Amino acid sequence: DSGVTQTPKHLITATGQRVTLRCSPRSGDLSVYWYQQSLDQGLQFLIQYYNGEERAKGNILERFSAQQFPDLHSELNLSSLELGDSALYFCASSLMDGGNSPLHFGNGTRLTVT
């Protein structure tokens, strides 16, 4: 058990809809990362927050947004969903801000857009 909790585990929704994925980091970790994993793209970094502030942005679409709250949990909002957004979305947390601080991954949210 990594200590990172992601909800929900599965999400099925229709194109054009909006969903929110939630992540609670490991106790004591200040950094939260979001990744998208798909068969064709592999593991893609989306965005990182550190202690409530956006720290780094990767291949995140404008239709997607995220935030980290004062209690350090994070939410990833996906809007105007398309079929291609179907993927496994992982949250990870780390104690420090990148560098050699290893990431601890949750079990992911599997999003299916129909």
Partner 1 sequence: AQSVTQLGSHVSVSEGALVLLRCNYSSSVPPYLFWYVQYPNQGLQLLLKYTTGATLVKGINGFEAEFKKSETSFHLTKPSAHMSDAAEYFCAVSDPGSGGGADGLTFGKGTHLIIQP
* Binding track over 23-42 against partner 1, x by CB under 8 A: --------x-x--------x
Rounded CA gap, 74 and 8, in Å?
13
Interacting residue with partner 1 among 38, 56, 73, 75 (CB under 8 A): 56
Query: Taking CB under 8 A as the rule, does residue 107 contact partner 1?
Result: yes
Query: Taking CB under 8 A as the rule, does residue 48 contact partner 1?
Result: yes
The nearer residue to partner 1, 10 or 14, going by C-beta atoms, is 10
Rounded least distance, CB 15 to partner 1, Å: 25
Judge contact between 46 and 36, C-beta under 8 A.
yes
Candidates 13-21, 65-73, 75-83, 97-105: pick the segment binding partner 1 (CB under 8 A). Answer: 97-105
Rounded CA gap, 58 and 8, in Å?
23
Q: Which amino acid is at 63?
A: R
**Segments of the chain assigned E as strands:** 5-7, 10-13, 19-24, 31-38, 42-50, 53-57, 64-68, 74-78, 87-94, 104-105, 109-113
67 by DSSP, 3-state: which? strand
* Contacts with partner 1, residue ranges (CB under 8 A): 2, 4, 31, 33, 42-43, 45, 48, 50, 55-58, 90, 92, 96-100, 102-108
